[in-house]
Copies of this chain bind each other. A is one copy, B any other.
Amino acid sequence: MKPDQLSAAQAARRIETRELSAEALAAACLERIAERDEVVRAWAFIHAKQALAEARELDRMPRRSRLHGVPFGIKDIIDTAELPTEYNSPIYRGHRPRADAACVTLLKEAGCLILGKTVTTEFANNHPSPTRNPHNEKHTPGGSSSGSAAAVADFMVPLALGTQTGGSVIRPAAYCGAFAVKPSFGSINRAGTKMLAESLDTIGIFSRDALDLALALEVLSGRPAAEPIGPSEKPRVGLCRTPCWERADEASRANLEAAARRLAQAGAQVRDFELPAGSEALFERHKVIMGYETARSLAWEYANHRGEISKTLLPRLEEGWQVTRAEYDAMREHSRLCRRALAESMRAVDFLLTLSAPSEAPASLASTGDPLFNRAWTLFGVPCVTLPHGKGAHGLPLGVQLVGAFDADSALLAWAHWACAALA
């Protein structure tokens, strides 16, 4: 198998046994990027020579973690001192932060290689980026972590970081046929990540394998990956259609129900799961919190560089400025109540099974698709994993989403690994 086809865990094992060098792996990734990125456009900045030199240094160094030598793509909303960080905004053209973000430093300290910066939408919001879906270049890869999802799905890099404030990790992963985790709120330190909505922004991880997510999250959160689930353990699964079920397309709904049947065949106790009363507001009124906070986080840009903000983002910021503090406070309080109620009702299950997105990736580059099935979970703060499963009407990948209890990220990833086997 060519090195760029390996999962992170497979690559790291070969690097450990010296069957593969970090340099050769980086070179294979860079080659794949050279071949494909003219079409996919997943990368914002790569300094190939610098990356190869760093890989050689990692090859000379003692092993620092289970991911030693493995390359990562870093969404360009996350600061890097040695590569530009432009947030896909002309306001930040040529911007070079003084420091690496905490998450980047944690990766480097674990012996991981920063291969380059992946394309974000403008300020991780919803103005489309130039990135295309690697399965069909006429379709969106989703956003806002467009480049990270596309690069990982297209075998350009085994792992990448993104961020989710609404649905910016889970949705693009599902659209591109990648795996991803949006951990619990607070799992990965956010210092040096451009702040958009401070009570929502969450750093997430993309991969082509469930195990890789667990290894990367171990490095980034400091929580040990869980032991694999034994063959005799069977999960209690809540099939959660959500109040927005009718807004998903038929293929996605049928696919989720088929996945539920497969899990049941594999021994899971599957039953319908109703979200606590009041949760519908989290799907619909997430924008009260995201809008209010994002408008203020981008206050300097709005006050000083309005002409350089896209026609997509500008009205969203205006809308955010219209939200009153009282509405915002009421929505925060409502979210806190819903969070507690969900924690209570999730005691009865090991994880929820739900949609990752309302459809496959739309056949358009003019929108990044709909985060409808992601926003509430971001607001709940609970961990979410998307696994590729099934195909949509146009033959693009579909995903299914597993949702765990707050802070039970490691357990959720172990169940995700189990579910992959059950769905295979």
Chain B, Cβ-Cβ closest to A220: B296
- A260 and B105 CA atoms in complex are apart in Å by 50
Contact B95 A98 (CB under 8 A): yes
Of B92, B99, B324, B326, which is within 8 A of A300 by CB?
B99
- On chain A, which size bracket covers the interface? 35 or more
Of B104, B186, B189, B296, which is within 8 A of A191 by CB?
B296
Name the distance in Å between A93's Cβ and chain B's nearest Cβ. Answer: 10
Chain B, Cβ-Cβ closest to A185: B199
- The yes or no answer to A325 lying at the interface (CB within 8 A) is yes
| Count of chain copies | 2
- The yes or no answer to A136 lying at the interface (CB within 8 A) is no
Binary per-residue interface labels of chain A (169-204) against chain B in the complex, 1 for a CB within 8 Å, 0 otherwise: 000000000000000001001111001001100000
Name the distance in Å between A193's Cβ and chain B's nearest Cβ. Answer: 9
Contact B190 A102 (CB under 8 A): no
Contact A102 B199 (CB under 8 A): no
Contact B102 A297 (CB under 8 A): yes
Residues of B with C-beta under 8 A to A301: 99
Name the distance in Å between A173's Cβ and chain B's nearest Cβ. Answer: 25
Residues of B with C-beta under 8 A to A326: 223
Residues of B with C-beta under 8 A to A92: 98
Contact B102 A299 (CB under 8 A): yes
Name the distance in Å between A254's Cβ and chain B's nearest Cβ. Answer: 39
Question: What 5 pairs across the A-B complex have the smallest Cβ distances?
Answer: A191-B297, A222-B325, A105-B299, A189-B296, A191-B195
